[in-house]
Structure formats: C-alpha cells, structure tokens
Amino acid sequence: MSISVQGITKVFSNRRDKRSMNTVLEDISFDVNEGEFVSLLGPSGCGKTTTLNIIAGFLKHEDGNIYINGEKVNKPGPDRAFVFQNYALFPWMKVSENIMYPMKMQGAPKKERQDRLRDLLEMAHLEEYANYYIHEISGGMKQRVALLRALACDPKVLLMDEPLGAVDFQMRQMLQAQLESMLQENQKTALMVTHDVDEAIYLSDRVIVMSRDRGRILADIKIELPRPRDRKNEKYHQYTNELSDILRTALNGEVKNQGDEELLEFIEKTDKKGNKRVVFAEKAICNSNK
C-alpha cells in the first residue's frame, strides 16, 4: 500500500498562550510507494512526529489530505500500525499477551493467534520470553515486542516514531539489522521518524529531510545501496556526508547564536571502534534555542 501526503497544513495553538498560533506544517507533500521504507529526518520540533500522527489519523489537520492506497483517510485504521517512541506496552500483560492484543481486539480465532505468535516470536528471537512481564525484559526486547505487536495484524503500512530511540548504540545496530530483515520478509510500506543519519541510511530506500521552517522539505534522497547495507561501503559514506551537509545547512540557517561551531560538533559522534556516526544531536538544538 502507498501513502500520499498532499498539501498538509497543521496549526497548533501555543501551549503557553492559547491565543497565539503556531504553523508547524505548511503545505507539506510527499509520497511513500508500496513496499518502500522512507525516513523522516530533521531538527527537533520540525514536525516529524506531527506528520506521522496525522498520517496515523491520531491528529486532525487544517488543510490537505492523506491517501492510503489512493483512499482518503482521516482517522486511524487497521491498515496502519504505529510503533511508539516509548514502546507503549501494557505492563500488566505478558510479552505474548501484548503481541496478541491487537489480534484479540480484531476477534481473530485462538488457533490463528497462537500460530502467528509463534512465528513472530521466532522471527525476533524472543521465544523464551513469551511468558515474561514487560518489566522483566530489557529495553531492546521491549522494542522488539512493540514492533511485533505492530506487525501482529499484518498491517500494510508501518508508522514508526523513533522506534529504536531508547536503546544503546550496539543494541541499536543489532535491532536495525533485525528490523530490516523483518520488514524485508513481510514486505511492508514503512515510514520512520529518526534523528540518526546512520540509521536513516542503513534502513531507508529514501530519506526526507524536514526543516523547522513550517516543516519545509529540504531534501528527498534516494539511497541506492544493496541490502543488507555495508557501513564500510564508500557510497554509504558519501550518503552520510551528503545528509550531514544538508542538516548542517538546516542548522546554520536556524542557529543565530554565537558559538555555532561548538553546536555543530555535536553532529558527529565516533563510537568506540572509531566508526563515525552522525546524529542530529538534541543537545545542539536545545542550545540553539537559548
């Protein structure tokens, strides 16, 4: 199934002063083709989550339309599954019950639910943890459970808001590889919000970069690399540099304070093995608001 975002405008009333309005998105348009994995990248507050919530049908918008496979949608539906940043799992349920919850709500027969559960747990290497409660499993496992719950009803479209945001670097790379193979296996159309340039390149067919100027789309870049992706590939580095430059431009355009150089340093991080990883660091953006 494809997603088509056409001319979306979203205005919020200011949280502190209800009379003043904030146009977060203005006339935003893009498409995600069937089976494509697209990432939304951009500075904090540029409207990535708002865009995803509008597509999910969680938020109303002022203008424009969302089409799923050519059909206009304006409320949530089983065709679109959502993976939340903070997992949003049910702590009073076991891993298996969490995963099966959407199928149960849809009234799927018990046998079908059990078969699906077995397949999903196997796919994510979580068979041993089916009867654990959520507080008994690690952050990386919670992330996988949240993803399996989203995949349970076999949605055609997967919307993910920083699905790997809460796990450490090593776990994140492992989960990226797992997420990729799960999505390849299931042939999903996916739209993901991320701050992480490396993650966007590793997972996406296309990366869309948004700016804080009413969500304006700065770039829409096709990542033409074979899968699974090799971080050591020369072209992989070229994409990293290209996207970093676009983000730098976005930051430079937005950061008006002195000390910009210091802020920009936050953009590039190097892990213990010396691999460069580019992150659109939250801290830099926070500082820029001073």
* Minimum CB–partner distance for residue 201 and ligand ATP (Å): 18
Applying CB under 6 A, the site for ligand ATP has a residue count of: 11
Q: Are 281 and 247 in contact (CB under 8 A)?
A: no
12 binds ligand ATP (CB under 6 A): yes
Of the pair 6, 44, the CB lying nearest ligand ATP is at 44
114 binds ligand ATP (CB under 6 A): no
165 binds ligand ATP (CB under 6 A): no
The beta strands (E) that lie in 143-260 are given as: 157-161, 189-194, 206-210, 217-222
211 binds ligand ATP (CB under 6 A): no
Tokens of 3: 């997603």
Of the pair 28, 124, the CB lying nearest ligand ATP is at 28
24 binds ligand ATP (CB under 6 A): yes
Task: Give the residue carrying structure tokens 């494509």.
Answer: 36
Measure the CA–CA gap between 244 and 215, rounded to whole angstroms. 18
Tokens of 240: 């990293």
Binding letters toward ligand ATP, positions 34-63, x by CB under 6 A: --------x-xxxxxxx-------------
* Minimum CB–partner distance for residue 251 and ligand ATP (Å): 14
List Cα–Cα distances, 269 to 13, 23, 67, 273, in angstroms.
36, 32, 38, 11
Measure the CA–CA gap between 50 and 97, rounded to whole angstroms. 29
Of the pair 19, 232, the CB lying nearest ligand ATP is at 19
287 binds ligand ATP (CB under 6 A): no
Q: Which of 118, 87, 6 is nearest to 54 (CA)?
A: 6
Binding letters toward ligand ATP, positions 57-96, x by CB under 6 A: ----------------------------------------
List Cα–Cα distances, 209 to 186, 216, 236, 258, 272, in angstroms.
26, 9, 17, 25, 28
Of the pair 45, 64, the CB lying nearest ligand ATP is at 45
Measure the CA–CA gap between 4 and 147, rounded to whole angstroms. 23
* Minimum CB–partner distance for residue 265 and ligand ATP (Å): 20
Of the pair 46, 124, the CB lying nearest ligand ATP is at 46
Estimate the crossing angle of helix 95-105 against helix 139-152, to 10 degrees: 20
15 binds ligand ATP (CB under 6 A): yes
Measure the CA–CA gap between 47 and 170, rounded to whole angstroms. 28
Of the pair 47, 155, the CB lying nearest ligand ATP is at 47
- What is the binding site for ligand ATP (CB under 6 A)? 12, 15, 24, 42, 44-50
